[in-house]
Structure formats: C-alpha cells, structure tokens
C-alpha cells in the first residue's frame, strides 16, 4: 500500500479556487503500477478480460480515488464514480485492490461463475465500489446526469458525479441526449472523463466512427471542455479541479491503450487479448523497471 499520509515528503501541492488540493504523485504512480501488475496476472489467470482497456484507464481511476473524490460519507453525501465503459471492469477491480479498497485475493475470482468480480461491474456484488451495473455502453452518462441533478435538488450540489467513458462508446446516441440534459440543468457538479485512447474493439475510432473535432462537439452541447494527459496524475487532477464556470465539464484524457506494456501499447488486438505465459513474464518485468 502507498498511502498519501505515509509519503507526505513526495507530495506536490497546487491550488484551485479557495481550497488546497494535495496530489501525492509518486503514491498514485506506484499504486497504478501495482494495479497494472494485477491486471496482467488476473487476466492471464482467468483467460479472459479486456487487457488494453483496463491498462488505459488505471491512472485516471487511481487519481480520482486517491486525490480527488471525497468518499468518506455515506451515500448520497459523497462523490460518486461511474464506470460507463463497463468492459474496463478489470481495471477498476485491480485499481481498487492496489488502493486497498478490496482484498487482492479476490482477484482470483475474476470472471468465475457467480463470483464477486463479474466481467462487467455489478453493484449488488460490490456495493461500496460499484454505483451501477454497466457494460451496455452509452448508459453511464445518463445515470451520472441523474445523480448530479438529484444532488442539486437535495441541496448537495457540492457533491460531484464522475463518469468515465470510452471514446468508442461515444458513438452511442444516448450520450448526446444526456449531454443536452446536463447542459439544460447547468450541472456543474457533473464531470465526464473520456478515456481517449483512439482505439476500440475493431480498430481506430477515427476510421470506425470519426469523433473529431471531439472538443467542439462537446462545446456545442454546452459543456466546458478541458484536456489532460490521462497518465499524469497532476494533469488529471488539475483538469478535474479547475475552477467551475457553471457548466457540466468534460475532460478529454489523452491515453494509450495497453499503457505501460511496450508490446501492448496502441495495438488494437489487445482490446480483448490475454497475455500468455511468456507475455506475462515480459510485461511484469517491464513494470519492474
């Protein structure tokens, strides 16, 4: 475990609005590295999973949970995280294990029959980690809109809903209906984050269903649009915690599918490929360097 409290000397501090935000960059990076080890081992053991998609999202998840979200209170008075790209469940589980939220030993159950760790997140299995059952792509942002609006109506507008979307997922029209609603209700407590790795199951997003100019599209739907390096904790936290302009926010997080493993990075086949024994050994060796 790499707790923020135990590594204060490595903290980099920056400020937004009237509150101080502390980001323990080294702790987050080390935790994300451990999560990547878990992904390789877990998917290899299960013989199933979405390895590339898991690896691209880990830095975002670890930064949100370790340096951004306030999850100390009970629902609804806490920040909420929705993994709309539910096929990235493995990345969520392994990040949670690396952060000490779940026991790493249960990763052995991944994709087994009637276990806690299904191939897509199931709230009933892990209620403290999973907000919604996801995997039917295009639904997460709509639910995030409902959570953010509900918080506003309940006087909890300071609590935010974070929705992590895949870029290939944006071909689903329900995302844009949700975006219109978020803009209409001025949900400045909604933060959508796009895992912009530019690859999906069958190839490049720009060849399958072009998204660019992606920032202009979100802007036209009434969102504040920010960009960040999706593998840099400071860049992610900076974008998330930038001063509010009274609009829902979308962060285009530039990532790399299969990030952290040389032979997986930016290779479409690793969307759903599983490392064999030799690839597992090579990947783990790279993560030790």
- Segment 139-172, tens digit of pLDDT: 999 999 999 999 999 999 999 999 999 999 999 9
Mean pLDDT of 110-134: 94
A 10 A CB-CB count for 227 gives: 16
What are the beta bridge partners of residue 200? Answer: 203
Query: What is the pLDDT at residue 125?
Result: 94
The first and second tokens of residue 212, run together, are 């660019």
Q: Is the pLDDT of residue 75 over 90?
A: no
Quote the CA–CA distance of 211 and 56 in Å, as a whole number. Answer: 19
Give yes or no for residue 96 having a pLDDT over 50.
yes
Residues of the chain with pLDDT > 90, as a percent, come to: 87
What per-residue confidence (pLDDT) applies to 18? 34
Instruction: Give me the half-sphere count of Cα atoms (radius 13 Å) on the Cβ side of residue 285.
Output: 8
Query: What is the β-pairing status of strands 19-23 and 12-16?
Result: antiparallel
Whether residue 118 is predicted with pLDDT greater than 80 in this model: the reply is yes
Interior angle at CA 132, CA 57 and CA 23, nearest 5: 40
pLDDT band of 21, cuts 50, 70, 90: low
Contact in structure between 189 and 152 (CB atoms under 8 Å): yes
pLDDT of residue 84: 98
pLDDT at 286 over 80: yes
Structural domains in the chain plus CATH codes: 5-288 (3.40.50.970)
**Average pLDDT in the 219-237 region?**
98
What would the two tokens of residue 83 be? 């993994």
Average pLDDT, stretch 104-130?
A: 94
Q: Does residue 15 surpass a pLDDT of 60?
A: no
Place of tokens 């086949």: 269
Round the average pLDDT of the chain to a whole number and report it.
92
Q: CA dist 246 to 143, 184, 186, 187, Å?
A: 20, 12, 7, 8
- Tell me the two tokens of residue 274: 């599983």
- On the question of a cis peptide bond just before residue 58, with omega within 30 degrees of 0, the verdict is no
Quick check: bond before 76 cis, omega within 30?
yes
Q: How open is the CA angle 50-51-52, to the nearest 5 degrees?
A: 100
Q: Which residue has the tokens 């493993």?
A: 261
| pLDDT value at 39 more than 90 | yes
Residues 256-270, mean pLDDT to the nearest whole number = 97
């Amino acid at each position: 475990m790499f707790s923020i409290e135990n590594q204060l000397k490595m903290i980099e501090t920056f400020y937004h609005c009237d509150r101080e935000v502390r980001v323990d960059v080294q702790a987050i990076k080390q935790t994300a590295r451990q999560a990547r080890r878990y992904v390789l081992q877990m998917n290899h053991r299960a013989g199933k999973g979405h390895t590339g998609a898991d690896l691209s999202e880990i830095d975002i998840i670890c930064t949100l949970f370790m340096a951004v979200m306030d999850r100390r209170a009970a629902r609804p008075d806490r920040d909420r995280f929705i993994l709309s790209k539910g096929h990235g469940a493995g990345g969520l589980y392994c990040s949670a294990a690396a952060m000490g939220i779940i026991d790493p030993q249960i990763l052995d159950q991944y994709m087994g029959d009637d276990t806690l760790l299904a191939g897509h997140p199931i709230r009933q299995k892990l209620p403290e980690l999973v907000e919604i059952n996801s995997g039917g792509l295009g639904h997460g942002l709509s639910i995030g809109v409902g959570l953010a609006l509900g918080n506003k109506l309940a006087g909890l507008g300071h609590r935010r809903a974070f929705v992590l979307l895949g870029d290939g997922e944006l071909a689903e029209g329900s995302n844009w209906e949700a975006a219109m609603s978020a803009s209409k209700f001025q949900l400045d407590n909604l933060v959508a984050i796009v895992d912009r790795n530019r690859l999906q199951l069958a190839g490049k997003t720009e060849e399958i269903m072009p998204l660019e100019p992606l920032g202009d599209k979100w802007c036209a739907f009434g969102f504040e649009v920010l960009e960040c390096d999706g593998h840099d904790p400071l860049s992610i936290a900076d974008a998330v915690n930038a001063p509010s302009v009274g609009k829902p926010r979308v962060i285009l997080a530039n990532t790399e599918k299969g990030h952290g493993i040389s032979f997986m990075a930016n290779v479409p086949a690793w969307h759903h490929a599983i490392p064999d024994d030799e690839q597992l050994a090579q990947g783990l060796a790279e993560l030790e360097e």
